[in-house]
Structure 1
Amino acid sequence: MAGGFAFALPLLALVACLAVALWAVPRRRALVAVDEAAHPGLARLRRSTLLGRWLALAGGAIAAVVAASTGGLGRGFALAPTVFGAVQIVGVLAADLLARDDARTPGTAGLEIRRVRDFVPAGLVRLVAAAGAVLAVFLGWAGAVAGPDNLGRPGRALTYSCVEGCDHGTLGPWPGSYYSVPMAAALLGVLVLAAIAVRVTVRRPRNGASPEIVAVDDVVRRRSVESVLAAVGVAFTGSLAGTALLSGARLAGLGPNRGPVALQVAGWSLLGVGLVALVCLVWCLVVLLLPGAGAASPGRRSPPASPLTGGRERARG
């Protein structure tokens, strides 16, 4: 019963933080108004991306719960944030593919240049990059100090020298190679999937001759790219929060008379990192639930793109 409460408490705290964040951070702004009779494709585009996002949120929650409950020895629990993020990216990708031609007017053609960086929110990129770097360092360190558990399974325990009262002690489960290798493989897969989704979103064709089409379509693209980055952020920050909090609590709980001081300091540091990651996780979930409009200012033109940063395409009716 106590173990179940220990796992339920962080979940309840996360739900409470998310509720407060949704109440306190009004991110969603209305999309640019569109004449649905004149541009039925734009109406379909907005509906398909909205439906895809909500279906992905529901499917991702189900997939994460299934992954957490089916993985052996906690592996599924460690992979749950990455599974959730992957489903979000697949939802964005599917919606963009289904709406591929909705921003084009039959019988017209447009030529324009679009770059990935014109649709990427810089703050969210920095958050995702920082979380990924910290997670990589932590998993690398945790793997380096990990050893086999009492059944000989490698990378599942941490053995330390006791200060007094015993020769050595063992902490487990520990996020060594038994957990970090599948986590790293899954996170790498999410990054590849995110790169594909962002590229498909930015290069989706449209007729750039109509200002109304450009205004609405740019907002839809920015929301899709933002959702993809937020999904990667959920995978990174969720993985970091879970592993850092659990590992930090075990190390900090050694007490002054059991484990070395260095391990206790590491434990309290990991608790701090885990709490920061939890806050970032809540923010990424808010971005997924309530994406910002982020429309470009009127008259803004996209600067020329290099072959490595964007693509030029001709939209044909």
Structure 2
Amino acid sequence: PPNWLGLEAALAAPVFACCLLAGVLIGEVSGTVPTGPDRTAPIEVRSVRSYLPRFMTAATLGIGAVLAVLLTATSSMGSADDMSRSGRFLTLTCQDLEASTGPWPGLYYTLPIAASVLIGAGAAAITLRAVARRRRPATGAAVHAADDDARRASARAIIAACGVLVAAPLAGTGAFAGMAMIGNACATAAATAFGWTALALGLTSFMAACWFTVIAVLPHRVSHR
């Protein structure tokens, strides 16, 4: 098999998140609908927002914003490696010395990661819309309450999958950027501070990715507001 230089590992979490989203979407599309000669359709407006877990949604959006900033920063700082692959090294100069360290999360890694995150976000939006628009299985207050609980569980799974989609790449990007920056012989005090900050982001995002994964796999057993 071709050597992707770690790109397959960088894309593993986004692919996993997209598979989770596909599973939820298939379940919503193939769900049970009312059958029989008489059908009723209650007049109501169901919005996606009413089923979203507030804290987890805010956390996912925040991590996604940090990921976008970090990917932009590392992409702008990267340089080509010895095989002219864009952005795989970090090259700094100091006095008469030029020091390169890697792997560095430059364009070689960030463009596929960004594309996969955007695809996953689009799939999540479609899936959330399917959750909100799915028809009620029957009438009655008790049935509606149980159905809303099922929709909220599906929405939690979707947002958790989105959390994995952004937190896992942020963990890897932060870890590799931090190690490359700190290990560069020409790193200034500001560059070293950036490196340690990136490492801290990587560790925090790794723990967040683990939390999101548990919720995504067990959406009906983990309660969130």
Q: State the TM-score, normalizing by the size of structure 1.
A: 0.66
Runs of 5+ consecutive residues of structure 2 not aligned to the other structure:
none
Cα deviation digits, residues 242-300 of structure 1 (max 9, x gap): 1111221222234xx6422222111100111111111211210121133257699xxxx
* Other structure's SS at 1:236 match: helix
For the 8 Å contact 1:70–1:76, the answer to whether it is kept is no
2:127 paired with 1:197: yes
What's the counterpart of residue 271 of structure 1? 199
2:14 paired with 1:82: yes
Q: State the alpha-carbon separation in 2 of the partners of residues 225 and 289 from structure 1.
A: 13
What's the counterpart of residue 299 of structure 1? none
Q: 218, 238, 251: which is aligned to 2:148?
A: 218
Which structure's CA Rg is the greater one? 1
Amino acid in structure 2 at the alignment position of 1:135: L
What's the counterpart of residue 51 of structure 2? 119
For the 8 Å contact 2:92–2:100, the answer to whether it is kept is yes
2:212 paired with 1:284: yes
Residue 212 (structure 1) shift: 2.5
Cα deviation digits, residues 183-238 of structure 1 (max 9, x gap): 11111000110000000111001156312221221111111111011001001000
Cα deviation digits, residues 26-47 of structure 1 (max 9, x gap): xxxxxxxxxxxxxxxxxxxxxx
2:66 paired with 1:158: no
Runs of 5+ consecutive residues of structure 1 not aligned to the other structure:
1-68, 297-317
Q: 228, 233, 238: which is aligned to 2:158?
A: 228
Cα deviation digits, residues 150-187 of structure 1 (max 9, x gap): 12111211100246xx6110112211111111111111
For the 8 Å contact 2:71–2:105, the answer to whether it is kept is yes
The number of residue pairs the alignment matches comes to 222
Cα deviation digits, residues 87-117 of structure 1 (max 9, x gap): 000000001111141xx35323022221111
Query: In angstroms, what is the RMSD of aligned CA positions?
Result: 2.1
* Other structure's SS at 1:113 match: coil
* Other structure's SS at 1:110 match: coil
Extract structure 1 runs of 4+ deviating beyond 3 A.
Answer: 292-296
* Other structure's SS at 1:221 match: helix
For the 8 Å contact 2:92–2:186, the answer to whether it is kept is no
* Other structure's SS at 1:114 match: coil
